[in-house]
């Protein structure tokens, strides 16, 4: 990196927060999808919103691209840095700025961890509803950039339903406020455009979040089925009966066997599929819904639905599901985790398709699903030591995404497009659609400097800048063209 830039960055954030050594930069070379790696040109850890703004202004002035990073738990390569760019790590912006219990709102910096928000307001009987499984470590800034979901989003909604306002440093260095602490602000919903934009429209430096009242009662039903088709049909029937559970998670046979081996949660190993259905609300409502869910499950072939009788039993049953990813180590040395979504009624057809694609590829796939949302996480199991198997696993994971699109779904349910899935975007959108999205992006980031190589298969730059023509580094690298 240009030594002048490094010295300007040190002047902004303090020398100890600019990391240039190889050992320090290596730590930041990927997110949780380690298949994609790049060494950042320089890593900067600002300690205040003003410092973020000054760093972004400097990048804009010098024509240097940057990537924002929260906790680095993303699963689509969204926070993979640029070798010629600045990696802006937001983890020091971790203060809770204001708690407004009367209005059930909280204002936080972007590096605050998801679970920390709920912990802070639990004693007041409130919580922050979007709950990715990574909630102990992922940041609110990353959640907003990915529009993250979680097990309880079926009933409570995704991140986008719980963010009231954000302060954002635009890639030009301007500080703007999107959204409002009141409902229904007038004008275009620019907050809606920003949430889920994967770090391509600017950097969140503050967020005001909506809080929800903790339920009075919670109940968990475990129902095992002979086949995934029957379990899938039960999911649709529960919702059709007018019940909105807090969560409905589905695991297939391979997943049940691996997690039971790892955690001994009491799952029936011989079952073809398992549903965990959580109900919450007032005690009479939960009691009525629990009986109705048990009855629907029995009608759809459940072998012996079981209602957890204590919080400890409930926690153990959930522990199995939450250990599904690490438990895969018992089945194979490596897995490729995918994230797709289909209308929930299409889940049985999708699972059949995955089984036949897996058989054709000679690989095994374990499936774990946020079934109520139609959101599926296939885990393609492979052995990287076997020549060609890694490539076959990657190809199979791609075929599964295309099957999701064919069945009326999408290439991502909650993990975002990032680097990993940008090549599949044309399977969902026409060239005109993609060009329209890129024009929206240009309105926020005219020089295409904020996380430039993510989301779009071929970035389009927004026209030439005044002055003598200098080819943009992305054009020279062959990854961008000019509009």
Ligand X SMILES: Cc1cc2nc3c(=O)[nH]c(=O)nc-3n(C[C@H](O)[C@H](O)[C@H](O)COP(=O)(O)OP(=O)(O)OC[C@H]3O[C@@H](n4cnc5c(N)ncnc54)[C@H](O)[C@@H]3O)c2cc1C
Residue 338 contacts ligand X per CB under 6 A: no
Enumerate residues 398-417 that contact ligand X by CB under 6 A.
414-415
Q: How far is the CB of 398 from ligand X (least distance, A)?
A: 19
Instruction: List alpha helices for 208-346, DSSP H.
Output: 228-240, 253-263, 283-299, 311-322, 324-327
Contacts of 99 by beta carbon, 8 Å cutoff, 6+ apart? 106, 107, 120, 121
Q: Which is nearer to ligand X, 67 or 277 (CB)?
A: 67
Residue of 42, 54, 55, 73 that binds ligand X (CB under 6 A): 73
Q: Which is nearer to ligand X, 290 or 375 (CB)?
A: 375
Nearest residue (beta carbon) to ligand X: 142
By CB under 6 A, which span of 126-134, 241-249, 435-443, 471-479 interacts with ligand X? 126-134
Size of the site for ligand X (CB under 6 A): 36
Q: Which is nearer to ligand X, 56 or 350 (CB)?
A: 56
**Angstrom distances, CA of residue 453 to CA of 206, 239, 449:** 25, 40, 9
Report the alpha-carbon distance of residue 395 to residue 87 in Å, rounded: 30
Enumerate residues 185-214 that contact ligand X by CB under 6 A.
198-199, 203-204
Residue 139 contacts ligand X per CB under 6 A: yes
Report the alpha-carbon distance of residue 262 to residue 467 in Å, rounded: 63
> Binding string to ligand X for residues 422 to 451, with x set by CB under 6 A, is what?
-----------------------------x
Q: Which of 372, 325, 375, 331 is nearest to 350 (CA)?
A: 375
The answer to whether 154 touches 370, Cβ cutoff 8 Å, is yes
Side-chain half-sphere of 425: how many Cα atoms within 13 Å? 21
Residue 248 contacts ligand X per CB under 6 A: no
Q: How far is the CB of 458 from ligand X (least distance, A)?
A: 18
Tokens (6 digits) for 224:
């095992």
Residue 75 contacts ligand X per CB under 6 A: yes
> Binding string to ligand X for residues 260 to 299, with x set by CB under 6 A, is what?
----------------------------------------
Helix (H, G, I), strand (E, B) or coil at 438: helix
Residue 107 contacts ligand X per CB under 6 A: no
Residue of 9, 38, 45, 68 that binds ligand X (CB under 6 A): 68
Residue 143 contacts ligand X per CB under 6 A: yes
Residue of 30, 46, 69, 167 that binds ligand X (CB under 6 A): 69
Q: How far is the CB of 386 from ligand X (least distance, A)?
A: 25
Q: Which of 255, 206, 455, 471 is nearest to 365 (CA)?
A: 255
Q: Which is nearer to ligand X, 349 or 447 (CB)?
A: 447
The answer to whether 235 touches 371, Cβ cutoff 8 Å, is yes
Residue of 148, 259, 367, 449 that binds ligand X (CB under 6 A): 148
Q: Which is nearer to ligand X, 230 or 339 (CB)?
A: 339
Q: What is the DSSP letter of 450?
A: B
Residue 150 contacts ligand X per CB under 6 A: yes
The answer for 2, left when phi > 0, alpha when psi is -120 to 50, beta otherwise, is: beta
Report the alpha-carbon distance of residue 415 to residue 412 in Å, rounded: 6
Q: Which is nearer to ligand X, 290 or 410 (CB)?
A: 410
Helix (H, G, I), strand (E, B) or coil at 410: strand
Q: Which is nearer to ligand X, 18 or 204 (CB)?
A: 204
The answer to whether 198 touches 145, Cβ cutoff 8 Å, is yes
Q: Which is nearer to ligand X, 128 or 225 (CB)?
A: 128
Q: How far is the CB of 340 from ligand X (least distance, A)?
A: 13
The answer to whether 207 touches 108, Cβ cutoff 8 Å, is yes
Report the alpha-carbon distance of residue 325 to residue 115 in Å, rounded: 20
Residue of 72, 320, 340, 459 that binds ligand X (CB under 6 A): 72
Q: How far is the CB of 292 from ligand X (least distance, A)?
A: 27
Helix, strand, coil abundance in the chain, percent, nearest 5 = 40, 20, 40
By CB under 6 A, which span of 72-80, 210-218, 389-397, 470-478 interacts with ligand X? 72-80
**Angstrom distances, CA of residue 156 to CA of 168, 244, 301, 416:** 25, 10, 28, 20
- CB atoms inside a 10 Å sphere around CB 6: 17
Enumerate residues 5-64 that contact ligand X by CB under 6 A.
31-32
Q: Which is nearer to ligand X, 224 or 317 (CB)?
A: 317
Report the alpha-carbon distance of residue 355 to residue 341 in Å, rounded: 16
Q: Which is nearer to ligand X, 117 or 224 (CB)?
A: 117
Binding site for ligand X (CB under 6 A): 31-32, 67-75, 78-79, 90, 110, 132-134, 138-139, 141-143, 145-146, 148-150, 198-199, 203-204, 325, 414-415, 451
């Amino acid at each position: 990196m240009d030594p002048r830039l490094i010295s300007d960055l040190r002047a902004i954030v303090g020398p100890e927060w600019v990391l240039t050594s190889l050992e320090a930069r290596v730590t930041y070379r990927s997110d949780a999808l380690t298949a994609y790696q790049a060494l950042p040109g320089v890593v900067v850890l600002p300690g205040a919103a003003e410092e973020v703004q000054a760093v972004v202004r400097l990048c804009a002035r010098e024509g240097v691209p940057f990537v924002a990073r929260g906790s680095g738990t993303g699963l689509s390569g969204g926070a993979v840095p640029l070798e010629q760019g600045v990696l802006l790590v937001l983890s020091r912006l971790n203060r809770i700025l204001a708690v407004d219990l009367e209005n059930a709102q909280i204002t936080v910096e972007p590096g605050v961890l998801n679970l920390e928000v709920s912990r802070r307001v639990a004693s007041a009987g409130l919580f922050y509803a979007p709950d990715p499984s990574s909630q102990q470590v992922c940041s609110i800034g990353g959640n907003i950039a990915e529009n993250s979901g979680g097990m309880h989003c079926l009933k409570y909604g995704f991140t986008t339903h719980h963010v009231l306002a954000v302060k954002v440093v635009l890639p030009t260095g301007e500080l703007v406020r999107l959204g409002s602490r009141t409902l229904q602000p007038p004008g275009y919903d620019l907050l809606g455009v920003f949430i889920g934009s994967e770090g391509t429209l600017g950097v969140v430096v503050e967020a005001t979040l909506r809080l929800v009242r903790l339920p009075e009662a919670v109940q968990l039903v475990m129902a095992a089925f002979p086949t995934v088709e029957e379990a899938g049909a039960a999911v649709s029937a529960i919702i059709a009966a007018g019940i909105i559970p807090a969560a409905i998670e589905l695991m297939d046979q391979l997943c049940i066997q691996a997690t039971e081996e790892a955690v001994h949660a009491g799952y029936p190993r011989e079952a073809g599929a398992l549903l965990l259905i959580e109900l919450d609300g007032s005690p009479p409502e939960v009691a009525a819904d629990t009986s109705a869910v048990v009855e629907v499950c029995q009608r759809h072939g459940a072998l012996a639905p079981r209602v957890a009788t204590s919080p400890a039993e409930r926690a153990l049953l959930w522990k199995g599901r939450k250990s599904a990813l690490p438990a895969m180590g018992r089945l194979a040395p490596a897995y490729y985790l995918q994230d797709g979504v289909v209308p929930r009624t299409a889940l049985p057809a999708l699972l059949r398709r995955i089984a036949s694609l897996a058989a054709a590829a000679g690989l095994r796939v374990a499936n774990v699903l946020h079934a109520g949302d139609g959101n599926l996480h296939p885990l393609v199991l492979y052995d990287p030591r076997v020549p060609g198997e890694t490539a076959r696993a990657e190809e199979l994971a791609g075929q599964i995404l295309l099957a999701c699109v064919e069945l009326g779904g999408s290439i991502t349910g909650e993990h975002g497009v990032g680097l990993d899935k940008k090549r599949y975007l044309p399977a969902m959108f026409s060239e005109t659609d993609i060009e329209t999205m890129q024009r929206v992006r240009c309105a926020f980031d005219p020089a295409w400097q904020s996380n430039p190589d993510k989301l779009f298969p071929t970035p389009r730059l927004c026209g030439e800048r005044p002055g003598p023509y200098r080819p943009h580094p992305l054009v020279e690298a062959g990854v961008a063209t000019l509009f």
